[in-house]
């Protein structure tokens, strides 16, 4: 096991999330559902211990195949959010980073710091060419993370997906290897 300290807050850490974390992950997802559910159905995949374990196992399987990974963000010993490589394609040199958080994880810069670690790993250590970020156009907090990291808006897929009875536009952001590290964060 390894721990990456997140310097944005004392006692904030980035750690791998693994199937044996299922109980803690489920309790966290139950707290995070109000923050996540307005934008994506991801939290609805883990509604009981068995489905939480299956979600984490699917990422353990992706990690073993080098096609994805999932990490938790702990603040003062409590799981408050996470980041993941939704897709990790070394053949094409492209990956997608996704995030989520509960209310207790907001406002500390934890998600931005964690995404910065994943981008650094993908672009520098693994030699990926492109990091992607996808979000509902209505999710201003998610958009703000992309902007802080210096990502560029590639475009908007209009009326791309239905969720909770609403059609969402999906923004597609990217960061290329030659743009890392960003010269100055965007505000």
Average the pLDDT over 30-46 and give the result: 89
For residue 10, the number of C-alpha atoms closer than 13 Å in the C-beta half-sphere is 0
Q: What percentage of the chain carries pLDDT values higher than 90? A: 83
pLDDT at 2: 81
- pLDDT above 60 for 183: no
pLDDT category at 40 given cuts 50, 70, 90 is confident
Between 58 and 2, the more confident residue is 58
Give residue for tokens 């909770």.
164
pLDDT at 184: 47
Domains of the chain, first to last: 4-179 (3.40.630.30)
Which tokens belong to 149? 């990291």
Q: What is the mean pLDDT of the chain?
A: 93
- Separation between Cα atoms, residue 153 and residue 18, nearest integer Å: 32
Do the beta carbons of residue 81 and residue 102 sit within 8 Å?
yes
Which H or E element spans position 154? strand 152-163
- pLDDT above 60 for 186: no
Do the beta carbons of residue 160 and residue 168 sit within 8 Å?
yes
pLDDT at 1: 60
Nearest 5°: phi and psi at 27? -60, -40
pLDDT at 187: 41
Give residue for tokens 């964060």.
185
Do the beta carbons of residue 179 and residue 143 sit within 8 Å?
no
pLDDT at 5: 87
């Amino acid at each position: 096991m390894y721990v990456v300290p997140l310097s944005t807050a004392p006692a904030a850490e980035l750690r791998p999330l693994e199937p044996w974390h299922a109980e803690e992950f489920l309790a966290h997802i139950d707290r995070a559902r109000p923050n996540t559910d307005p934008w994506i159905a991801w939290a609805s995949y883990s509604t009981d211990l068995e489905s939480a374990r299956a979600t984490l196992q699917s990422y353990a399987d992706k990690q073993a195949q080098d096609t994805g990974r999932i990490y938790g963000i702990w603040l003062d010993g409590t799981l408050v959010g996470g980041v993941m490589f939704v897709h990790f394609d070394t053949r094409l040199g492209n990956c997608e980073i996704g995030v989520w958080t509960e209310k207790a994880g907001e406002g500390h810069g934890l998600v931005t710091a964690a995404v910065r670690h994943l981008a650094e790993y993908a672009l520098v250590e693994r030699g990926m060419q492109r990091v992607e970020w996808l979000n509902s156009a209505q999710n201003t907090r998610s958009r703000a993370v992309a902007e802080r990291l210096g990502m560029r808006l590639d475009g908007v897929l209009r009326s791309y997906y239905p969720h909770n009875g609403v059609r969402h536009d999906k923004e597609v952001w990217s960061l290329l290897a030659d743009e890392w590290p960003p010269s100055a964060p965007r505000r």
